[in-house]
Structure 1
């Protein structure tokens, strides 16, 4: 299967247990042979894209926005996630489903679901109402409504405990048949890894001191303030106790201020943020780990401590209640009670036999129930059960049919275009071969045509030259003098007639009116008779004699003496 995983945090971005959960689940699914693409928020110098142990990680940057409004920032992160989701589908093919984590990815998951026609599986790690003990502000109401939207859009909801299942059904109005419990997993900490425990411990405590360890965010619901309250009383009963507090959060400075006003401030060490390797080593050297949460959907950190062989004391609430069997694999304190916390911690520090018994049972439970390989198998079974049912739903079947038709149309069009292309290539090759065969004949025909064209051009040229010569001859035939030139006396005018039968029978009247021919002289003579300046105008006149149908060409010269 191809799985698109949406989470706002992923290593190296670690805000809480969500990052750890998504990281280990993705790798567990990849180990089972599935293609997993995690779309998450950018973090520091972490690569934008990487292939991490067969898990494709795509880190996106929220659209450029300068704001302190966390809700707006989340919306811009979702825009970037949608864009990256489309790119993933274009590059790697269609995904089989979307697995979204918590409300921060709701709008990206919904948009991709409707546009890609694939189902959503959501893991609800916590609810806004549970974290705050109710909904009191507009911000809390907005987040709670967004959680409800994610629940409505999801085909299946995963919760990490029965406690969370009941809360999701109550707060988000989720249907029971759509809600499934799959616990968080934990990776076994390799106890074979050797390091100098004495030297490492000296960074945090004296050799003789026993370490009481806290791992988690410094927020009210994690109950760290209860441990600060109980610390002086624990020291009163066990003077060699040393408190090591890792992590940070919005109440860190307030807690430090409270510690500075106690007489045991040298017994409490705030380490700040630590990496996973340091955390695992601390679990190995700690004598007890304390998780006094007021609200805890599951408590993955308690599993991490158990996997490292560190006894735990937890609040009897939420998912922690389901993980810990009091006196068997850990101890439970009354929720919200610093006195109960003090009693259980002192019991572990003083009773080494109980401590060893708890360690052994805890390691066994981690391997059999909470391994990530087991959690991965349960998650895959849910996926396989969901996908066929989703395709059978009326809406999904309509969407899938539409997509299938569109894909078929594209495929048919591609086939037709490919066929036409092949046919055109074949025709072009055939035409080229025919042209190669007839090319010698075409060359001979072309030569003959060129010869004929050349002869035709020569004949046309000769005709044009002949016409030009005839025109020159006509211009030199006769010149009529249009002025009154002096003529030579006694000289008879010559007339030319054609002897025809009609002219012989003409009447005397016709003879009397017979047209006289003008005197004809040459151009040279005219120039001799007129010594003054003469203006010469040559006109060509065609006279049509209707009786004898003869044509005479006359030219007249109009002269004006100045």
Structure 2
């Protein structure tokens, strides 16, 4: 069988009643070979993936609000619409035999609405499991205006779903009377016995104290104030060797706008503060150690649809005290055969019953034995057959066409408005995408313009630089022209001087030539004179010789 469970809460990510119920139900189905698809929050899906749970028979699907958040301002409507979208995707891929929704948060609202008005999911039966609707919680917490958009959303799902199954006869009668729905089936929650030996809790921290245990949210509906007041009364009248352990999530008191734990601590006399131990919600493996070693566990709820924690405590052999006029009377039996009850909303009666039990060890031991015996009735192995048989009967009845629906014009109008808003969102998305595209084009053009502007600046800068260079060059050319003119003038002067010098040189050259000619002429004359002189010299020499001969001849004659 393929079963889909829809719950925003999922243990161990949320340690609350519905989450534990979904966890145990899934475990029992999985053990018996069924496939389970859980639609929950996106955070739970991511945590499930992070823990690397490789169980192939269990698929966790997270609701991640996208378009839904645009359609609805109210988160619960948006989340319900997100669930509807996830279910459409799921049934398109798998043959789902049955879908069960938790009542809390009205998660089935849009799925039921589309099924009822437009015939979607027509082949799949829907079941809403009654845990405790918000309206009943608001009444028990004494909220001034218990009816809200959320309570109306939850009530619509309960009234219009194919089948309703309550977790107790008390819950069935409560809703049947308020919403006039009589076809409510009852199957108690199944409670698993975890492997406490795997827990890492320090048991010695628990064993060294004798304590009374409270487990539950710190809210008025759960009767935490009754527990604290009864504890104070006991401690003021008895020896202080008893401690009172409170395990639960602190919440805001909407009437006082204060945290409930702070208000409770203000109630407790300072000399008794050490007798109270406050713990946050914890894993069941750890919690069951506290159940096992408690003298007594007290569940003083003003309104309780079942009481998982009561059965859990009894599973570990803890004697229990519960408030009457709640579903927990179905657990301990109306004749108090398996526990002790006190008058609802009466802390003094709780004090009396608590004192009697704490002073009677034999009675505590007797109730401890009976607790274990009674808890077996709620074990997975005992509740599972009834659960699966109920699902099978629902599927058979649904196929036989026993479910009749009456449509309301307002439902059609609502869905048409949703369609219209969806159209506007899609059109807005299309226009936004076009605008984004145009914006990108414009951005590209702006980039091009910026590039052109930058290029223009660059060219202008280069032009300005070139202009400066040109001016500088013009100055240099002007200076060069001046220098050239100066050189030219000097050149002309030099040429003029050169011409004069050249003329002088030419004149000197002529004079030199004339002198040379005169020299040549003088040289010829000189040579002629030289010849003549030579001839004269020779003649003289001849004359000398003759003279000498003459002289010599005269001397010879004398001799």
TM-score by length of 1: 0.63
Equivalent runs, 1:38-49 vs 2, <5 Å: 38-43=38-43, 46-47=47-48
Q: Partner of 2:98 in structure 1? A: 97
1:328 aligns with 2:337: yes
What RMSD in Å do the two structures reach over aligned CA positions? 3.0
Deviations 1:497-530 (A, max 9, x none): xxxxxxxxxxxxxxxxxxxxxxxxxxxxxxxxxx
Q: Paired residues, what number?
A: 387
Q: Partner of 2:59 in structure 1? A: 56
More displaced stretch, 348-357 vs 48-57: 48-57
Q: CA, structure 1 residues 315+76, in 2 after alignment: closer, same or farther (shift >3 Å)? A: same
Q: CA, structure 1 residues 106+138, in 2 after alignment: closer, same or farther (shift >3 Å)? A: farther
Q: SS where residue 318 of structure 1 aligns? A: coil
- Equivalent of 2:185, from 180, 189, 209? 180
Q: CA, structure 1 residues 276+227, in 2 after alignment: closer, same or farther (shift >3 Å)? A: same
Would you say the 8 A contact 1:2–1:96 is kept in 2?
Answer: yes
Q: CA, structure 1 residues 131+196, in 2 after alignment: closer, same or farther (shift >3 Å)? A: closer
Would you say the 8 A contact 1:212–1:242 is kept in 2?
Answer: yes
Q: Partner of 1:507 in structure 2? A: none
Q: Partner of 1:224 in structure 2? A: 224
Deviation at 1:214, TM superposition (A): 0.9
Would you say the 8 A contact 1:27–1:54 is kept in 2?
Answer: no
Equivalent runs, 1:458-537 vs 2, <5 Å: none
Deviation at 1:188, TM superposition (A): 2.4
1:364 aligns with 2:366: no
Q: Partner of 1:170 in structure 2? A: 177
Q: SS where residue 327 of structure 2 aligns? A: helix
Q: CA, structure 1 residues 394+300, in 2 after alignment: closer, same or farther (shift >3 Å)? A: closer
Q: CA, structure 1 residues 196+19, in 2 after alignment: closer, same or farther (shift >3 Å)? A: closer
Deviations 1:240-284 (A, max 9, x none): 110111112224333343255443011111122322222111112
Which one has a bigger Cα radius of gyration?
2
Q: Partner of 1:253 in structure 2? A: 261
Measured in 1, the distance between the counterparts of 2:66 and 2:146 equals 22
Equivalent runs, 1:60-71 vs 2, <5 Å: 60-63=63-66
1:123 aligns with 2:132: no
Measured in 1, the distance between the counterparts of 2:175 and 2:234 equals 37
Q: Point out where structure 1 has 5 or more consecutive residues left out of the alignment.
A: 398-562
Structure that is richer in helix per residue: 2
Equivalent runs, 1:70-469 vs 2, <5 Å: 72-91=74-93, 93-104=94-105, 105-110=107-112, 113=115, 114-117=119-122, 118-133=124-139, 140-174=147-181, 176=182, 178-190=183-195, 193=197, 200-202=203-205, 207=208, 209-235=209-235, 236-248=237-249, 249-250=251-252, 251-259=259-267, 261-325=269-333, 327-367=336-376, 369-393=377-401
TM-score by length of 2: 0.63
Q: Point out where structure 2 has 5 or more consecutive residues left out of the alignment.
A: 253-258, 406-559
Q: SS where residue 157 of structure 1 aligns? A: strand
Measured in 1, the distance between the counterparts of 2:143 and 2:212 equals 35
Would you say the 8 A contact 2:300–2:322 is kept in 1?
Answer: yes
Measured in 2, the distance between the counterparts of 1:21 and 1:337 equals 29
Deviations 1:291-318 (A, max 9, x none): 1100111111000000011111111122
Measured in 2, the distance between the counterparts of 1:66 and 1:116 equals 23
Q: SS where residue 28 of structure 1 aligns? A: helix
Q: SS where residue 271 of structure 2 aligns? A: coil
Would you say the 8 A contact 2:34–2:57 is kept in 1?
Answer: no
Deviation at 1:179, TM superposition (A): 0.8
